[in-house]
Amino acid sequence: MKALLDAGYPAVTKVDVFGRGKQRGLKIGNVLYDELPKALLMVVVPDTEKEFVIRAILSSARTGAEGAAGDGKIFVSPVEEVYTISSGKTDSSKKEPALATR
C-alpha cells in the first residue's frame, strides 16, 4: 500500500482474506494449513495509468524469487460505472480497470 501511496495513488481498499494458491496451502510437518492469511487490495485507476500502477505493485510486492509462491496476482477488469454516494453523481463514460492484488 505504501508503494501505491508513494506513486500518487492514495485510494486503496484492503481486505484481510484467507485462501490458498496453486500450492494448495502450506504443509509443516504433518499439518496442512490450507487457509492462509492473505490481503486483497483493490485500486481503481484510469486506463491510461494502468501500466504505471501495475509496475508499482510488481516492483514492491515481488520477493525476488522467480515464480515464488505467495507473491500474489494482479487481476485487471473494467469498471462499467462509478457512483459517488454523497453527491449521487455517476460517471459511466470512463472505462477504468480495477486492480486487485495481494
32-83 pLDDT tens trace:
888 888 889 899 988 999 999 999 888 888 877 766 666 788 999 998 888 8
pTM of the model: 0.67
Instruction: Report the C-alpha gap between 33 and 21 in whole angstroms.
Output: 12
CATH fit for domain 2-101, picks 3.30.70.120, 3.40.190.10, 1.25.40.10, 3.40.50.2300: 3.30.70.120
* Amino acid making up residue 34: D
Per the model's pLDDT, the better-predicted residue between 79 and 23 turns out to be 79
Q: d(Cα 9, Cα 65) in Å, to the nearest integer?
A: 27
Identify residue 91 by its one-letter amino acid code: D
